[in-house]
Amino acid sequence: MVNSPSQNTDNEAEVTFPIVGIGASAGGLEAYSDLLQALPIDTGMVFVLIQHLSPDSPSMLSEILSRVTEMPVVEATQDLQVQPNHIYIIPANARMTIEDDRLQLAPREASQQKFMPIDVFFKSLSSRYRNRAIGIVLSGLDGDGAAGLKTIKQAAGITFAQTENTAQYSDMPNTAVETGYVDFILPPAEIAHKLASIAQHPYLTDDSEQPPQSPTGEPPRETGLPLVYSLLKTATGVDFTQYKRTTFERRLRRRMALYRLNTIEAYAERLQNDPAEVKALYRDVLITVTSFFRDPETFVFLKESIFPSLIEQREPMPLFACG
């Protein structure tokens, strides 16, 4: 039986919680079922499922998935306020976003371009929830979700994709993995276990740009931070001590959350024993938030197609560096 959403009152204290967007297409039902069956019902997370659906038929997904979990399973309606430990399903023939903890629905747009509802929701999620955004791409036949996962990771969220050998159709998760913006590549049940393990980490429930406060109200003295800077400089040659500290620490805390570490000292110890993690932190800190300047394909095109023709003209050519 599908559960009805309860209503929050305006007098309730504001609570922040992670929001998990899960996208799938062909083969999604099996993947959703495996994930939800392995997922505890009290993670404190909100789960929003974006399934590719026929625009001409009502969806039965809510009824089907309510049989595999004790969490309430609700088909989304306009302006529905989401609640932790609930599952929300996109309705047929709809475009769904989220704003201020409320699901926003619009009619599916008539366009010759392929409809990408997972990307639409993920981009909305990343812009509003940043570190509290989690994106998961499961079985499917096209590349929907890949661009959306990229925006989630760029916004300091956490990303997952289903392993190729467990997906009925691996095109969708594989396309996501190929972007290089996926944190974990796991079978659905293991994705559920990982979600449960990180659900209560402070990084996923804190909207603040600042590091956690001590009981006295002062930022904690993190003696491990100089070691993190040193390890990065030794491995990459880059001195991050002059980098914007709030940005650096947000990326650092994101990596800590992936491993359920609560102190920089503990994370610094991991870095000392895991050279691959040093490189992963380096990539995270320098993650591109543009679509041009750090895009290798763009510069290859300039080098091979644009510059040769300009040089052949043998005319003076002004150059401007935007940086």
Last residue of a domain, one of 172, 202, 232: 202
More confident residue, 111 or 6: 111
Report the SS3 class of residue 56: coil
Handedness of CA 209, 210, 215, 218 (dihedral sign): negative
The pLDDT confidence band at residue 8, using thresholds 50, 70 and 90, is very low
Residue 249 lies in a domain: yes
Same domain, 38 and 179: yes
Residue 300 lies in a domain: no
Kindly state the tokens that stand for 192: 């559920």
Same domain, 42 and 103: yes
Q: pLDDT digit string (tens) for 72-89?
A: 999 999 999 999 999 999
Range of the domain at 248: 208-285
Spatial distance between the Cα atoms of 217 and 220, rounded to a whole number of angstroms: 9
Q: Give the pLDDT of residue 316.
A: 74
The alpha carbon of residue 167 and the mean position of all alpha carbons in its chain are separated, in whole angstroms, by 20
Same domain, 96 and 226: no
Give the predicted TM-score (pTM) of the model. 0.81
Q: Give the pLDDT of residue 315.
A: 72
Kindly state the tokens that stand for 290: 């543009």
Q: pLDDT digit string (tens) for 109-131?
A: 777 678 899 999 999 999 999 99
Kindly state the tokens that stand for 223: 């003696």
The pLDDT confidence band at residue 31, using thresholds 50, 70 and 90, is very high
Same domain, 187 and 111: yes
Residue 6 lies in a domain: no
Same domain, 146 and 275: no
Bridge partners, 103 (sequence order): 80, 98
Same domain, 95 and 142: yes
CATH of the domain at 91: 3.40.50.180
Same domain, 29 and 166: yes
Same domain, 212 and 266: yes
Q: Give the pLDDT of residue 267.
A: 94
Q: pLDDT digit string (tens) for 94-106?
A: 999 999 999 999 9
Residue the block writes with tokens 């944190």: 183
Residues 292-313 as b/e (b if ≥16 CB within 10 A, e otherwise) read: eeeeeeeeeeeeeeeeeeeeee
Residue 272 lies in a domain: yes
Spatial distance between the Cα atoms of 69 and 175, rounded to a whole number of angstroms: 29
CATH of the domain at 238: 1.10.155
Mean pLDDT of all residues belonging to the chain: 87
Residue 23 lies in a domain: yes
Q: pLDDT digit string (tens) for 133-186?
A: 999 999 999 899 999 999 999 999 999 999 999 999 999 999 999 999 999 999
Same domain, 33 and 134: yes
**Domain count for the chain:** 2
Indicate whether 215 pLDDT > 50.
no
Same domain, 69 and 96: yes
What percentage of the chain reaches a pLDDT higher than 70?
84
What percentage of the chain reaches a pLDDT higher than 90?
69
Residue 321 lies in a domain: no
51 within 8 A of 167, measured Cβ to Cβ: no
Cα distance between the two ends of the chain: 57
Last residue of a domain, one of 142, 169, 202: 202
278-298 average pLDDT score = 73
Same domain, 234 and 106: no
Residue 322 lies in a domain: no
Q: Give the pLDDT of residue 323.
A: 52
Kindly state the tokens that stand for 249: 């620490």
The pLDDT confidence band at residue 283, using thresholds 50, 70 and 90, is very high
Same domain, 52 and 90: yes
Residue 54: Cβ within 10 Å count: 9
Residue 161 lies in a domain: yes
Q: Give the pLDDT of residue 30.
A: 97
